Amino acid sequence: MLAVVSDRIYPRYAIAAVGCVVVRDGRILLVKRGYPPRAGFWSVPGGAIEAGEDIAGAAVRELEEETGVRARPIGIIDVYNAITKDESGRVQYHYVILDVLFDQSSIQGEVRPGGDAINVAWIPLEEVLSRDDVTTTTKVLVKKLMEKKNCLVPI
């Protein structure tokens, strides 16, 4: 019997993904990742955009799957490459992530972990920057949010 190998590990091409940025009362909604890459670390919820899915739809789906929260996406605030290499230097994971900001006045639902998230929490923005268990990319995003260095691109 053949083992199923994920096309996300050692991909031929970068994978398009969304990050879901939900901020309310000086806190950001983060999930603790259950699977690689960055298993055990806190990051914004998100995941791969499915074939035929638009950016806003992917963000809404991923937010609800991983956190139980529903909200209205208002635009893209950041784009970055998340590249992880193995010990030999081969690209093990490569995502191009579009961070989507959600309207805080539209937040609904009970916060609960789901999908590949093993925990979910509202964490103060300042605390995110000082923690050792938050992904570097999440810290960079939060720093930009605090310094208001993000540019909103409507979707």
Whole-number pLDDT of residue 149: 82
Beta carbons of 128 and 32 less than 8 angstroms apart: no
Please give the class, per CATH, of domain 15-146. alpha beta
pLDDT above 90: percentage of residues in the chain? 86
Write the pLDDT tens digit of every residue in 18-28.
Answer: 999 999 999 99
How far is Cα 64 from Cα 45, in angstroms, rounded to an integer? Answer: 9
Domain segments of the chain as ranges? 15-146
Q: Is the dihedral of CA 125, 130, 135, 141 positive or negative?
A: positive
User: What is the pTM (predicted TM-score) of this model?
Assistant: 0.91
Which two tokens mark 73? 């996406």
